[in-house]
A = this chain, B = another copy of it.
Amino acid sequence: SKRYSITLLPGDGIGPEVISVAKNVLILAGSLEGIEFNFQEMPMGGSALDLVGVPLPDETLLAAKKSDAVLLGAIGGYKWDKNEKHLKPETGLLQLREGLEVFANLRPATVLPQLVDASTLKKEVAEGVDVMVVRELTGGIYFGKPRGFGTNEDGEEIGFNTEVYATYEVDRIARVAFETARKRHGKLCSVDKANVLEASMFWRKRVIAVAAEYPDVELSHMYVDNAAMQLVRNPKQFDTIMTNNIFGDILSDEASMITGSIGMLPSASLGSSGPGLFEPIHGSAPDIANQDKANPLATVLSAAMLLKYGLGEENAAKRIENAVLDTLNKGFRTGDIYSAGNKLVGCKEMGEEVLKSV
């Protein structure tokens, strides 16, 4: 039987609860497909700050790098919000992305027929939405240098960052995006602000160059302000969207909220080689932590992405995806996606119900 080593990073808030559910689901789906896992749990985020004083301990990054895939719960919380930058949980996450070189962040935003009412959009606008946002994750203004604080010519204090992309960075994310679009409906929309920013003009130029390798994919370009509008006006027009780190941060969250159920949405962050990083897109929700109220399905679906994109284990992934759909079809709902006529369950019970269908 096959063996994989998985680093689990429960993190903060509801992180440990949802990771515990996803771990059990992984074990069962794996065993039914002849797969075994070695799990190693490591501290990260606020809990690592409390434990050892840094948001990403060296041991955690090392363990993550050595493993076959990394599953993260969630990080952050009020407690650490006022910390200096290098002592913020978020900084640990950025260091992890950089350390694993996971430059391609895949964020599906799908409206499931079972949950179409959860969207704030009208039913006819929301139903059938199925967008994949491919976000560049280790470049752009998040990591660009120079950055920091200083003074300008007039002696005024300033704060500054650099948005910068190099050929190889755009080319590699473009290839992931074209490959992704090819496996979906063959349509790729690259989002930029090329009417104003040189970094975006460069981005667009490279995307067009790479497009020559993918004549079967239909490429379009859209300005980011228009994309933010079109996601509200008619999200069904999109198949695959590719964009830079900061625009991807904004648009993927907007797209996820359009589904109305961010407690359901997984993500995958992939590099050229080495382990991928898989995590729900929701936050650590400190206000409901330790109350057995969290929706574990985003993390369970992240485990499915881990199997599919991280390990190439499509069958085990399908088992999990189907188990989630079955569980929804049976009417089980956590509070965040509850609507009248369904069965309200907690995090643990939701996990047990999924296990029954794996």
- By a beta-carbon cutoff of 8 Å, the part of chain A in contact with chain B is 85, 88, 90, 94, 120-122, 125, 141-142, 144, 147-149, 152, 154, 156-168, 193, 195-203, 205, 224-226, 228-234, 246-247, 249-254, 256-258, 262
Contact = CB atoms under 8 A, between A and B. Distances in A.
Nearest to A148: B198
A167 B160 contact: no
Given A161-B162, A197-B161, A253 B226 contact: yes
B246 A149 contact: no
A120 B233 contact: yes
A231 to B, nearest CB: 8
A202 B158 CA distance: 7
A159 B229 contact: no
Given A158-B202, A159-B165, A228-B251, 12 more contacts: A120-B125, A120-B234, A142-B196, A156-B168, A157-B167, A160-B163, A160-B165, A224-B250, A225-B249, A228-B250, A229-B253, A229-B254
Nearest to A123: B122
The 5 closest A-B pairs by CB, nearest first: A159-B202, A229-B257, A160-B164, A228-B254, A225-B253
B232 A232 contact: yes
A175 B166 CA distance: 38
Contacts of A197: 141-142, 147, 159, 161
